[in-house]
Structure 1
Amino acid sequence: MTSLPFYQIDAFATRTFEGNQACVMPLDDFLPDAQLQAIAAENNVSETAYIVPKGDGVWALRWFTPTVEVPLCGHATLASAHVLFSHMDFDGPEIGFDTVKSGRLTVKRATGGRYEMDFPAPAVRKMDITDDVAAALGAWPLEAWGGPFYACVFASADDIVQLQPDIDLIAKLGIMKDVNRGNLGCLAVQGDGMDVVSRFFAPASGIPEDPATGSWHCMVAAILGPRFKRPLDCFQAYPGRGGLMNVELIGDRVKIRGKAVTVIEGKFTL
Structure 2
Amino acid sequence: MPAIRYQLLNVFAETTFGGNPLAVIEDGSGLSDADMQAVARQFNLSETTFLLPSTVAAARVRIFTPTYEMPFAGHPTLGSAQVVSDLLRAGERFSIEMKGGVIPVRRRDGRWTLSANAARHRLMEATSAELAAMLGLPANAIVGPAYWMDCGTEQPMIELASVEHVHACRPVASLMAQWSRNTAGQPKTYVFARTAEGFESRYFWMTGENSISEDPGTGSACANLGAWWLLTQGDRPLHAIVRQATAINRPSVLTLDVEQGKVEVGGRVIVLGKGELSW
| TM-score, normalised by the number of residues in structure 2 | 0.85
Mapping for residues 174-185 of structure 1, pairs under 5 Å: 175=181, 178=183, 182-185=187-190
Deviation at 1:170, TM superposition (A): 1.9
Deviation at 1:107, TM superposition (A): 1.3
The answer on whether the counterparts of 1:232 and 1:246 sit within 8 Å (CA) in structure 2 is yes
Deviation at 1:93, TM superposition (A): 3.8
> Counterpart of 1:31?
31
The answer on whether the counterparts of 1:185 and 1:201 sit within 8 Å (CA) in structure 2 is yes
AA of the residue aligned to 1:217: C
Task: Tell me the number of residue pairs that the alignment of Structure 1 and Structure 2 aligns.
Answer: 264
The answer on whether the counterparts of 1:194 and 1:235 sit within 8 Å (CA) in structure 2 is no
Identify if the C-alpha distance between structure 1 residues 56 and 137 changes in structure 2 by more than 3 Å, giving closer, same or farther: closer
Deviation at 1:128, TM superposition (A): 5.0
1:231 to 230, 233, 239: 239
AA of the residue aligned to 1:49: T
Mapping for residues 58-207 of structure 1, pairs under 5 Å: 58-85=58-85, 87-88=86-87, 90-100=89-99, 102-111=100-109, 113-127=110-124, 129-130=126-127, 131-139=129-137, 140=139, 141-143=142-144, 144-147=146-149, 148-173=154-179, 175=181, 178=183, 182-190=187-195, 194-203=197-206
Deviation at 1:142, TM superposition (A): 1.8
RMSD between aligned residues? 2.5
SS in 1 for 2:213: strand
Supply the distance in 1 between the matched residues of 2:213 and 2:35 (Cα, whole angstroms): 23
> Counterpart of 2:213?
208
Supply the distance in 2 between the matched residues of 1:129 and 1:169 (Cα, whole angstroms): 10
Identify if the C-alpha distance between structure 1 residues 54 and 21 changes in structure 2 by more than 3 Å, giving closer, same or farther: same
| TM-score, normalised by the number of residues in structure 1 | 0.88
AA of the residue aligned to 1:195: G
Identify if the C-alpha distance between structure 1 residues 202 and 208 changes in structure 2 by more than 3 Å, giving closer, same or farther: same
SS in 1 for 2:17: coil
Query: Which whole-Å deviations, capped at 9, do the CAs of 1:201-231 have from their partners, x for residues lacking one?
Result: 1116986111100110111101124624122
Deviation at 1:194, TM superposition (A): 2.8
Query: Which whole-Å deviations, capped at 9, do the CAs of 1:120-174 have from their partners, x for residues lacking one?
Result: 1322344454344322201131231222212211111121012122245424546
Identify if the C-alpha distance between structure 1 residues 127 and 253 changes in structure 2 by more than 3 Å, giving closer, same or farther: same
Structure having the higher strand fraction is: 1
The answer on whether the counterparts of 1:171 and 1:204 sit within 8 Å (CA) in structure 2 is no
> Counterpart of 1:217?
222
AA of the residue aligned to 2:242: C
Query: Structure 1 segments of 4 or more deviating over 6 A?
Result: none
Query: Which whole-Å deviations, capped at 9, do the CAs of 1:175-211 have from their partners, x for residues lacking one?
Result: 47x4867111101111xx5311111111169861111
Supply the distance in 2 between the matched residues of 1:204 and 1:171 (Cα, whole angstroms): 11
Of stretches 198-207 and 40-49 in structure 1, the one that deviates more from structure 2 is: 198-207
Of stretches 39-48 and 260-269 in structure 1, the one that deviates more from structure 2 is: 260-269
The answer on whether the counterparts of 2:157 and 2:228 sit within 8 Å (CA) in structure 1 is no
Supply the distance in 2 between the matched residues of 1:89 and 1:32 (Cα, whole angstroms): 22
Supply the distance in 2 between the matched residues of 1:28 and 1:45 (Cα, whole angstroms): 17
Gap runs ≥5 in structure 2 = none
Supply the distance in 1 between the matched residues of 2:226 and 2:180 (Cα, whole angstroms): 24
